[in-house]
Amino acid sequence: MKKFILLSLMAAMVAAVSCGPKDKAPKILVLYYSQSANTRTVAEEFATRLHADMEEILPVEPYSGTYQDVVERSRREREQGVLPEVRPLEHDLAAYDFIFLGYPIWFGTYALPVASLLEKIDLNGKKVVPFCTFGSGGLASSSRDLAAKFPKAEILPGYGVRAARLEAAPGEIDRLLKIGGFVEGAFEVPLVEEFPAMHSVSEEESAIFDAAVRDYPMIYARATEAASRAIPGGTEYLFTAVDIPREGMPQQPGQSFRIYVNVLEGRAPEFTQVVR
């Protein structure tokens, strides 16, 4: 039987938005940290569409220098268990019903300045919508970390986008907010079948997987299983893949993970997220 995709997301978000008095619109704060302009761009899109207040999380000592400089500093802080000091928030979180919390993914979860802020605030009792930008993935893992950090918060389905796909964010955010009932507007939810059972990957599917990941240096893997479904404008693939050894690197058992790939009409295969 066919089902609407995002059905559980719709139920959770619509219920959350409509839980208060009907004559009182929920108050929303878009709270974010952005190392580059990517997460800020997504945060501004959310704030504009929601007519929400917005505040940036600011480290006292900003991360500066080259990309590698930022990576080295954050790795050193992470290994030493040191969190960067961040400036106090100007907005009172107690005044808000929803917190849209945005961040880039660092080491598989929310960036260290966000981790630092979360040590100083309490999101228990709040409805939190996480959103993130990443190179390959991290929405699922960072959402789990938020839920573990604040077990009495309601962590709602969030949004993640690869930096390489940032141009897709406005349309995807519009869809998310309309389906979730955060903003008014008709939006036709396409009828899409759930993924069927996975099967051994075919040569054609393997070629699609390879084309989607070949230009991304952080993924060196082969597909082992696949499933596909029709989506508006093309086909979405779900692959199970396994890491493979790189030349000159110590050989370790391959780690299995899943990767989503879109093949849209007139476009090359493109992976949208990795879930490890």
The predicted structure's pLDDT at residue 259: 96
Helices in the chain by DSSP H: which ranges? Answer: 7-17, 37-50, 67-80, 112-118, 139-149, 169-179, 203-213
The predicted structure's pLDDT at residue 116: 98
The predicted structure's pLDDT at residue 186: 59
Backbone φ and ψ of 226, nearest 5°: -150, 155
The predicted structure's pLDDT at residue 252: 57
Whether the pLDDT of residue 5 is over 50: the answer is no
Query: 246 falls in which pLDDT band (50, 70, 90)?
Result: confident
Whether the pLDDT of residue 214 is over 70: the answer is yes
Average pLDDT of the segment spanning 191-213: 93
Lowest mean pLDDT among 69-73, 159-163, 175-179, 183-187: 183-187
Residue 155, beta-bridge partner list: 128
Query: Distances from the Cα of 85 to the Cαs of 77, 99, 130, 238, 266, in angstroms?
Result: 11, 21, 22, 40, 47
Instruction: Give the pTM.
Output: 0.85
Average pLDDT of the segment spanning 80-86: 96
Is the domain spanning 3-179 CATH 3.40.50.360? The answer is: yes
Residue matched to tokens 């107690």? 94
Give the tokens for residue 139: 């929405």
The predicted structure's pLDDT at residue 248: 62
The predicted structure's pLDDT at residue 17: 64
Number of H helices, E strands in the chain: 7, 14
The predicted structure's pLDDT at residue 276: 84
CA atoms within a 13 Å half-sphere pointing along the CA-CB vector of 71: 4
